[in-house]
Structure 1
Amino acid sequence: MAQTVKRAFKFRFYPTPEQAEELARTFGCVRLVYNKALEERTRAYTLQGHKTSYVQSSAALTQWKKTDDLAFLNEVSSVPLQQALRHLQAAFTNFFAKRAKYPAFKSRKKSRLSAEYTRSAFKYRNGQLTLAKLDGPLNVVWSRPLPEGAEPSTVTVSKDAAGRWFVSILCEDTIRPLDPTTNSVGMDAGITALATLSTGEKIVNPQHERADRKKLAKAQRNLSRKEKGSANRARAKLALARVYARIADRRRDHLHKVTTRLVRENQTVVIEDLTVRNMVKNHSLARAVCDASWRQMRSMLEYKAAWYGRELLVVDRFFPSSKLCSACGALQRSMPLGVRDWVCACGAAHDRDVNAAKNILAAGLAER
């Protein structure tokens, strides 16, 4: 049965100089309002012991706009400023529910540049998107169509470190589940092979960061030679960001292709619950683990399985998938990382990763 979900469609756009200036001003105001509201809420909680609500922060914003020092906040759309306060409220809600750390201040240099517009602050009509306070519609590259009859609920404008502008349009989309299949597959994530399947197939790991490591090192050396605060350093920093963006884009594209294929071909996908945070503490493997981006792959599998009527099962991280013989069930005492092939006492010869994938599949199907 088809389901209706909220889905974001991301497109690149090219603003005019006037639009870029207005959006940059909006980004700055959003950051200022977020940080000032966080400062006020922290002071109230520390000195007076009471929590500040969104309504109180919104009332404070109205007063800030009336002061001489912050009167410039009136020059940008009020909606992104209100949305910044809502995001701060959500951050505090997660903190008090012990789902996240205490909200941090937004850095001018490191924080993501973005502004969120709700329906009252933008107009989408006949394939043209116009934001409040801008002189005309955005020059959006519509790389794919929006759902038929789509009515966007929010629009988020952002600019990445490589200087690229993006617009993310949130709207409702109807997704139809895929036809049922009897196929099930277990997957063992790795470094040499991005994923080894219980069928014996090994999906290659492109190692995008490793492939561009020379370009990355050259860009980093070039940046280190530039004087801080100079225009040359700003250009070198942009060049470095573009190398990182290329790596991230290619990695994301490959993960989308792999996860989409797994979800389309199998009714049930079984994976292992990996603790990536602990794995990156191993300095010998940290770079390769980050390049593989297992957490991003799992996230893609989770939402795609939910969309298309598939089942994603997760096996406990302490399950000895590599040390267990998939033929007879015998448990080996140890299995060092250097051992890639081994023979069980029952006579079964195993490829370490294929054997682990078979055990992950069996364990997942047994526990559901």
Structure 2
Amino acid sequence: MTVSPVKRAFKYRFRPTGAQADELSRTFGCVRKVYNLALAARTEAWARQERVNYNATSAMLTAWKKTEELAFHARIADRRRDGLHKLTTRLVRENQTLVIEDLTVRTMVRNRSLARAISDAAWLAFRSMLEYKAAWYGREVIAADRFFPSSKLCSHCGRLAQSMPLHVRTWTCEGCGTTHDRDVNAAKNLKAAGLAVSVCGAGVRPRRRTPGGQPAPKQKTPRRKP
């Protein structure tokens, strides 16, 4: 009787932090760039009936690193990271409480028309820097719930608009007639929500975030004993 070995497969789900997800995105981008260059070089060699082995590809990679094109990409990444550090440091130093939106970046980048702009903005890296620097300086970072209608809610009268497509940048409230800039109105609503959380605690929406990004426990009103 022959015994065949049992093959097992294991699946793991990796939930990276904001900084890890941003680093992975940059790494995958670099890998894709190098893969495309190597594929083009091997395709051209194949057309000439030549073969490019691993050692030749490794030598080409060393030469590519010295080209102006790849060096230019590295300088862009360094400047973007430096700009994020300067911005987050200034925000944390000048403010006691900062309010941000808990956006689903992974879902938003699926939109082909916005994916490049969202990736260039590096929102995940921005939030990560903001949270750990807030912990250093003893500041508070409040992340509004992702379902909080900051754009659709009138900051003047509180009326909620039925829909707000992304292409709508200005709109007029049907309740009070106030004309809003989409981003300015959202900023006012987020500020008001953040002040409410600071005063009333984590029992109100949006959820309060303690320094480091962990949600604070929901506050409950104590009941009187009979």
Query: How many positions carry a matched residue from both structures?
Result: 163
For residues 167 and 87 of structure 2, what CA distance do their matches in structure 1 show?
27
Q: Does 1:268 align with 2:83?
A: no
Residue 304 of structure 1 corresponds to which residue in structure 2?
133
Aligned to 1:271, the other structure's residue is in SS state strand
After superposition, residues 86-165 of structure 1 pair within 5 angstroms as 100=15
Residue 41 of structure 2 corresponds to which residue in structure 1?
226
Residue 77 of structure 1 corresponds to which residue in structure 2?
none
Letter in 1 for 2:194: G
Aligned to 1:359, the other structure's residue is in SS state helix
* Residues 273 and 317, structure 1, Cα contact 8 Å, conserved in 2: yes
Aligned to 1:328, the other structure's residue is in SS state coil
For residues 225 and 238 of structure 1, what CA distance do their matches in structure 2 show?
18
Residue 166 of structure 2 corresponds to which residue in structure 1?
337
For residues 100 and 294 of structure 1, what CA distance do their matches in structure 2 show?
17
Correspondence for 1:292 among 121, 127, 131: 121
Residue 235 of structure 1 corresponds to which residue in structure 2?
63
After superposition, residues 26-45 of structure 1 pair within 5 angstroms as none
- C-alpha deviation, 1:232, in angstroms: 3.4
For residues 14 and 139 of structure 2, what CA distance do their matches in structure 1 show?
28
For residues 223 and 243 of structure 1, what CA distance do their matches in structure 2 show?
19
RMSD: 3.3
- C-alpha deviation, 1:241, in angstroms: 4.2
- C-alpha deviation, 1:314, in angstroms: 0.6
Deviations 1:78-125 (A, max 9, x none): xxxxxxxxxxxxxxxxx7xx7759xxxxxxxxxx8xxxxxxxxxxxxx
Letter in 2 for 1:366: A
For residues 15 and 168 of structure 2, what CA distance do their matches in structure 1 show?
39
Deviations 1:155-196 (A, max 9, x none): xxxxxx8xxxxxxxxxxxxxxxxxxxxxxxxxxxxxxxxxxx
Structure 2 residues not aligned, in runs of 5+: 1-7, 17-26, 43-51, 202-226
Residue 250 of structure 1 corresponds to which residue in structure 2?
79
* Residues 223 and 236, structure 1, Cα contact 8 Å, conserved in 2: no
* Residues 273 and 315, structure 1, Cα contact 8 Å, conserved in 2: yes
* Residues 341 and 352, structure 1, Cα contact 8 Å, conserved in 2: yes
Correspondence for 1:280 among 109, 124, 139: 109
TM-score, normalised with respect to structure 2:
0.62
- C-alpha deviation, 1:224, in angstroms: 5.7
After superposition, residues 32-71 of structure 1 pair within 5 angstroms as none
Q: Does 1:352 align with 2:182?
A: yes
Letter in 2 for 1:313: I
For residues 100 and 265 of structure 1, what CA distance do their matches in structure 2 show?
32
Letter in 2 for 1:304: K
Return closer, same or farther for 1:250/1:220 CA change in 2, 3 Å cut-off: farther
Deviations 1:8-43 (A, max 9, x none): xxxxxxxxxxxxxxxxxxxxxxxxxxxxxxxxxxxx
TM-score, normalised with respect to structure 1:
0.39
Letter in 1 for 2:184: V
After superposition, residues 303-322 of structure 1 pair within 5 angstroms as 303-322=132-151
Residue 327 of structure 1 corresponds to which residue in structure 2?
156
Structure 1 residues not aligned, in runs of 5+: 1-45, 48-94, 102-111, 113-160, 162-216
Residue 196 of structure 2 corresponds to which residue in structure 1?
366
Aligned to 1:226, the other structure's residue is in SS state helix
For residues 188 and 126 of structure 2, what CA distance do their matches in structure 1 show?
19
- C-alpha deviation, 1:220, in angstroms: 9.4
- C-alpha deviation, 1:222, in angstroms: 6.6
Deviations 1:254-310 (A, max 9, x none): 111111111111111000001111111111111111100000000011011111011
More helix by share: 2
- C-alpha deviation, 1:242, in angstroms: 2.7
